[in-house]
């Protein structure tokens, strides 16, 4: 009876989680925490809608303003005074791609809609909230301007066996779901002060605390003396997690018409904001007494906002653009599908696809992991071409791509997530799902700008390379000086850092000299604020409701936070925030209410579970139910796990049995290569 009851509870939890995977068409403000805990709810009883005397006139004005802004921005790409210089440490960190004509129209439409809504919000914020959340039935739900309705129509072929490169037609009924260039999605409405674009304020109406000052105090509070500074998980797991993250998210930093290495927000010396700052750039303020930047006279760090995406001018909450597909499809190495004449990817650092080099801030460790999958694809092409069969280059290329993606997906769901979750929570999360054609494939803005940044706080001060310790920052520049096999081998026994926020990620990330660099924690926090991400307690309450938590607690005072954060961190939060409800959602990753068997705090673990359940269930080509994979492909997928992939392409003699764990038992790479060689004929029947 007891076991039956446990199964029933788990089943209910799973069912509730599955229902929560769908994104609403009109996300609404989540106010259940406020109502439970006696916090005033803005606009609670207001049912008004905007009064628009001459809608067409307002729309035309908004469009004209947007066109002017886009043209002014497009004129900046070759004006050096507006661009970050090549001699500066953050040259390339905020690199932007260019805009083709369709993309330019989409950007202009987005700005047009934002202008329109800002005009309405200046009259009545509550009325605009009702409009954004779909409660004003007498008003159109998108702008009527002709340029706003120039969407493409797609006819999908259900018999075509390969996924597209831009995500189109993965879902046969909704062809554009998961498409590159789509917006991130929202489970709940963003928390902008004006409900449109202005930054969230605290409960007292004041601005949220200074980003950099807050994170410096957090770093000091998290220096724990009693807890061992390292953990069984290793840096290979951290970089692999970052690789997966980059596969899901292509950050479209605000663009002009041509490619740049980044628009300036600060003066070159960092002493103040630049007089040449455009609407494409922003800044992070640093106080004069900052422990790291103060002695360098730096009071300004560059920050470039991500582009919003609302290409069809829908009057609902806007979110950030994702230039990658939402699928786990290795878009980070395949990009738009450019190969050589044989169907191979052109290799670059560590044999990684040249597409990876487009991401200027990648470390050599990142390139080394990308190189494993690039080499798998190219090796597959060679093996198939050696078979005595008449197959087109395109057919060989796509079958090898399908195999490579399938092995990658298997590693994520059977190895990476298991290492992150631990046995107990992995089973509780339950990834035993099926394809749901009514589930949109999209990445959550709330997740990606908060809980999804968990790997960043595990960055150590140093990484191992050729048996010696080197500062983390050196691995981001002059990548060709490193031996890729030594880079990979070093990560296996480099444990993750859990003793707080390292100086490397707080002060010199992306640095060229180890003196002047950026603050990764500050960038993460600023990304969340810029995206309108709601408060941590609000999102925690939302997640707890999804997983049917027994009780959802009110945190009326900072002392109440002791069951989430360590006492020293609580004191920092008390110092900087006027109310526990104001705390940024990024603090979810700093909580210590870890689930049993995992380093992930409760909210982070459940948010990650839900995100990856949706990613799997919304992918028609997911490897475990992809009907276009042959028996030979399935045999190779079963054979090639992560340690085998490393044995094949990492260039090392022995590989760890559990590659995400430090000091794992090692086995002969040659033995694993022999196991694949015994199945070599399978490549002929992919």
| pLDDT of residue 664 exceeding 50 | yes
C-alpha to C-alpha distances, 555 to 196, 203, 271, 537, nearest whole angstrom: 28, 14, 40, 8
Residue 117 lies in a domain: yes
Task: Give how many domains the chain has, as a whole number.
Answer: 1
- Looking at residue 16, its pLDDT comes to 40
455-495 confidence digits (pLDDT tens)? 999 999 999 999 999 999 999 998 999 999 999 999 998 99
d(CA 397, CA 386): 14
Asked whether residue 421 is assigned to any structural domain, the reply reads: no
Rounded to an integer, the average pLDDT of 352-369 is 86
Mean pLDDT, range 157-180, rounded to an integer: 96
Residue 77 lies in a domain: yes
Of 476, 550, 548, nearest in space to 512 by CA:
476
What digits encode the pLDDT tens for the residues 580-629?
999 999 999 999 988 888 889 999 999 999 999 999 999 999 999 999 99
Assign 198 a pLDDT band (cuts: 50, 70, 90).
Answer: very high
Query: Do the domain assignments include residue 295?
Result: yes
User: Maximum distance among all alpha carbons in the chain?
Assistant: 76
DSSP bridge pairs for 601: 594
Q: What is the mean pLDDT of residues 78-96?
A: 94
Please check whether residue 120 lies inside any domain of the structure: yes
Task: Categorize the per-residue pLDDT at 4 as very low, low, confident or very high, splitting at 50, 70 and 90.
Answer: very low
Q: What tokens does 241 get?
A: 């997690």
Could you tell me if 360 and 95 are in contact, meaning their C-beta atoms sit under 8 angstroms apart?
yes
Q: What is the mean pLDDT of the chain?
A: 92
Instruction: Tell me if 108 is assigned to some domain.
Output: yes
Tell me the pLDDT tens digit for each residue of 279-302.
Answer: 999 999 999 999 999 999 999 999
pLDDT band at 508 (very low <50, low <70, confident <90, very high): very high
pLDDT of residue 230: 64
Instruction: Give tens-digit pLDDT for 5-37.
Output: 333 334 334 434 456 799 999 999 999 999 999
Q: What pLDDT shows up at residue 2?
A: 32
**Domain span including residue 71:** 50-138+253-317
Mean pLDDT to the nearest integer, 101-107: 94
Percentage of residues of the chain with pLDDT beyond 70: 95
Q: Please check whether residue 67 lies inside any domain of the structure.
A: yes
Q: pTM score, two decimals?
A: 0.95
Q: What is the pLDDT of residues 315-339, one digit of tens each?
A: 999 999 999 999 999 999 999 888 9
- What is the distance between the alpha carbons of residues 513 and 508, in angstroms, rounded to a whole number? 8
In contact, 203 and 581? CB cutoff 8 Å: yes
Write down the pLDDT at residue 149: 86
Residue 257 lies in a domain: yes
Q: For residue 48, what is the DSSP state? A: -
Q: What was the pLDDT predicted at 156?
A: 95
């Amino acid at each position: 009876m007891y076991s039956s009851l446990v199964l029933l509870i788990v089943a209910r939890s799973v069912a509730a989680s599955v229902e929560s995977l769908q994104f609403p068409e009109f996300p609404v403000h989540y106010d259940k925490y406020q109502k439970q805990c006696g916090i005033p709810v803005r606009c609670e009883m207001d049912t008004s809608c905007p009064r628009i005397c001459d809608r067409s006139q307002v729309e035309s004005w908004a469009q004209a303003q947007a066109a002017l802004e886009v043209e002014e921005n497009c004129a900046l790409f070759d004006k050096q005074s507006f661009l970050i210089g090549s001699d500066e440490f953050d040259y390339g960190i905020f690199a932007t791609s260019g805009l083709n004509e369709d993309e330019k129209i989409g950007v202009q439409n987005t700005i047009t809609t934002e202008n329109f809504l800002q005009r309405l919000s200046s009259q009545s914020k509550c009325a605009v909230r009702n409009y954004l959340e779909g409660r004003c039935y007498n008003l159109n739900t998108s702008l009527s301007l002709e340029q706003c309705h120039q969407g493409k129509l797609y006819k999908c072929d259900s018999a075509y066996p390969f996924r597209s490169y831009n995500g189109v037609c993965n879902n046969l009924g909704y062809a554009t779901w998961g498409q590159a260039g789509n917006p991130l999605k929202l489970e709940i409405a963003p928390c902008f002060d004006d409900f449109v674009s202005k930054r969230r304020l605290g409960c007292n109406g004041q601005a949220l605390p200074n980003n950099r000052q807050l994170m410096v105090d957090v770093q000091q509070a998290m220096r724990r003396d009693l807890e061992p500074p390292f953990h069984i998980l290793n840096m290979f797991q951290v970089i692999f997690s970052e690789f997966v993250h980059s596969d899901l998210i292509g950050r479209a930093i605000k663009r002009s018409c041509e490619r740049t290495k980044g628009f300036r927000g600060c003066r070159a010396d960092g002493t103040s904001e630049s007089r040449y700052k455009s609407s494409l750039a922003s800044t992070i303020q640093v106080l004069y007494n900052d422990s790291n930047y103060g002695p360098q006279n730096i009071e300004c760090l560059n920050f470039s906002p991500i582009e919003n995406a609302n290409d069809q001018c829908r009057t609902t909450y806007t979110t950030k653009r994702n230039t990658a597909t939402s699928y786990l499809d290795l878009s980070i190495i395949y990009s738009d599908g450019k190969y050589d004449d044989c169907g191979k990817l052109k290799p670059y650092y560590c044999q990684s696809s040249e597409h990876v080099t487009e991401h200027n801030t990648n470390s050599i460790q990142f390139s080394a992991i990308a190189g494993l999958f690039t080499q798998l694809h190219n090796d597959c092409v060679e093996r198939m071409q050696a078979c005595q069969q008449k197959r087109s280059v395109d057919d060989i290329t796509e079958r090898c791509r399908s195999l490579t993606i399938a092995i990658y997906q298997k590693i994520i769901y059977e190895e990476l997530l298991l290492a992150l979750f631990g046995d107990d929570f992995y089973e509780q999360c339950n990834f035993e799902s099926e394809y749901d054609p009514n589930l949109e494939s999209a990445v959550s803005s709330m997740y990606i700008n908060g809980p999804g940044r968990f790997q960043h706080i595990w960055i150590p001060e140093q990484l191992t390379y050729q048996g010696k310790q080197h500062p983390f920052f050196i691995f981001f520049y002059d990548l060709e000086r490193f031996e890729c096999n030594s880079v990979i081998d070093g990560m296996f026994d480099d444990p993750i850092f859990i003793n707080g926020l390292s100086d490397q990620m707080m002060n010199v990330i992306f640095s060229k000299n180890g003196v002047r660099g950026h603050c990764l924690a500050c960038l993460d926090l600023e990304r969340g604020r810029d995206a309108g991400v709601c408060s941590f307690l609000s999102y925690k309450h939302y997640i707890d409701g999804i997983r049917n938590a027994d009780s959802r607690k009110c945190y009326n005072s900072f002392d109440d936070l002791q069951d989430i954060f360590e006492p020293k961190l609580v004191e920092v939060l008390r110092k900087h925030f006027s109310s526990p409800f104001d705390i940024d959602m990024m603090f979810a990753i700093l909580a210590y209410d870890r689930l049993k068997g995992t380093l992930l705090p409760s909210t982070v673990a459940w948010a990650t579970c839900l995100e990856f359940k949706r990613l799997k269930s919304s992918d028609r080509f997911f490897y475990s139910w992809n009907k276009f994979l042959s028996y030979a492909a399935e045999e190779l997928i079963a054979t090639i796990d992560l340690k085998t992939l490393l044995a094949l392409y990492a260039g090392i003699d022995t590989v760890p049995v559990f590659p995400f764990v430090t000091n794992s038992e090692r086995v002969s790479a040659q033995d694993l290569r022999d196991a694949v060689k015994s199945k070599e004929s399978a490549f002929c029947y992919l």
